[in-house]
Amino acid sequence: MRDIIMPIIILIILLISAAMLTWVERRVLGLWQDRYGPNRVGPFGLLQVAADMIKIFSKEDWIPPFADKVVFVIAPMIVMVMMLLGFAVIPFSPSIQIADFDNGLLFLLAISSLSVYSVMLAGFSSNSKYALFGALRAAAQMISYEVFMGISLMGIVIMTGSFSLRDIVAAQSDIWFCIPQVIALFIFIIAGIAESHRAPFDLPEAEHEIAAGFHTEYSSMKFGMFFIGEYLGVLLISAMIATLFFGGWQGPFLPPIVWFLLKTGFFVLFFILLRAATPRPRYDQLMAFGWKYMLPLSLINLLITGAITLATQGA
């Protein structure tokens, strides 16, 4: 019974958290940019989320007559499903985890790879030039930065000798991997921003160039799925950073789940701060930065980690 109830509870909490994150982001952006955030609907604007949901559900669910209707409808579902599946292997605490796979890290990388199909199918099925440009940008950006993300995590695998996220958390009982793997942490954060196409790397949906990019033709709840999927992606990347580099649930005094939530919340706020403070680069600059700097840096980090590990084991 517990195996059935726990995933349902986690699913509900994640969906509510992703919806509430829209309010948190706007309030925090207002604070950091010295302006008002949502403050009219309910106390502190908390009911703005409910108002947005009513608006999304009540808007016309329009499908362009020139679109591939079946693929057009399926595309936004993929990103939500993939992001929710990613949380299945995240260890929230020693006793809270849906599935403990021996290859949990590979599962997460595979899930992030599959999410690219959502934006690609959305762009191609819309039969719109702006959506197509956005889809092509998203495909190139996400596939490229997946390479650097995967290589950056191999240093952690070398140090722990396991792909299990629970083993990775346990291996950080003495020192968090953010210290010996600081280069990998930097690479992973940059790649995570590009993977979730969040600002300043939100070039697949850059409104100043290509309207809304791959979801230009979407409205109503299908647009809402892309919107919630993006915030689920922010939560997933933040949870991965906390798990892989900052000891997951480990910490003194407080309960393990509290430590995990605090660490994840810190990186969610970091994602929001980036949106508030950094401008977008050009698309060619983003791609050049990845292949010219991120790839060599990730390979150097992997070589150094491997050499140190071999030297330590030999000694």
pLDDT for 257: 92
pLDDT for 204: 66
Q: Residues 79, 6: contact at Cβ < 8 Å?
A: no
Confidence of residue 235 (pLDDT cuts 50, 70, 90): very high
- Whether 221 shows a pLDDT value over 70: the answer reads yes
More confidently predicted of 226 and 250: 250
Confidence of residue 95 (pLDDT cuts 50, 70, 90): confident
Confidence of residue 36 (pLDDT cuts 50, 70, 90): confident
| Rounded Cα gap, residues 227 and 242, in angstroms | 23
Structure token pair of residue 160: 């722990």
Q: In whole angstroms, how far apart are CA 123 and each of 22, 98, 110, 206?
A: 24, 33, 21, 14
| Rounded Cα gap, residues 204 and 194, in angstroms | 10
* pLDDT tens-digit map of 43-74: 888 888 888 888 877 877 778 778 778 888 88
pLDDT for 10: 86
Q: In the chain, which residue ranges form alpha helices assigned H by DSSP?
A: 2-32, 48-58, 69-86, 104-114, 116-126, 129-160, 165-170, 182-195, 207-210, 220-245, 256-277, 283-289, 295-314
Residues of the chain with pLDDT > 70, as a percent, come to 95
Backbone dihedral region for residue 197 (phi beyond 0: left; psi -120 to 50: alpha; all else: beta):
left
DSSP 93: B
Output the CA angle 55-84-235, nearest 5 degrees.
Answer: 80
pLDDT for 304: 92
| Rounded Cα gap, residues 172 and 151, in angstroms | 20
- In the three-class reduction of DSSP (H, G, I as helix; E, B as strand; rest coil), residue 96 is classed as strand
Closest alpha carbon to 137 in 282, 298, 274, 291: 282
pLDDT for 297: 92
Which pairs from 103-108 meet CB under 8 Å and 24+ separation?
A: 103/163, 103/164, 104/163, 104/164, 104/165, 104/166, 105/153, 105/156, 105/157, 105/163, 105/164, 105/165, 105/168, 105/244, 106/163, 108/165, 108/240
Residue owning tokens 């968090």: 176
* pLDDT tens-digit map of 187-206: 999 988 888 877 777 776 76
* pLDDT tens-digit map of 245-268: 999 899 888 899 999 999 999 999
pLDDT for 314: 60
Share the mean pLDDT of the chain.
Answer: 85
Among 19-23, 118-122, 244-248, the range with the most confident prediction by mean pLDDT is 244-248
As beta bridge partners, residue 93 has 96
When pLDDT is averaged across residues 26-52 and rounded to a whole number, the result is 82
Closest alpha carbon to 211 in 143, 272, 277, 135: 135
Q: In 60-103, which residue ranges form alpha helices assigned H by DSSP?
A: 69-86
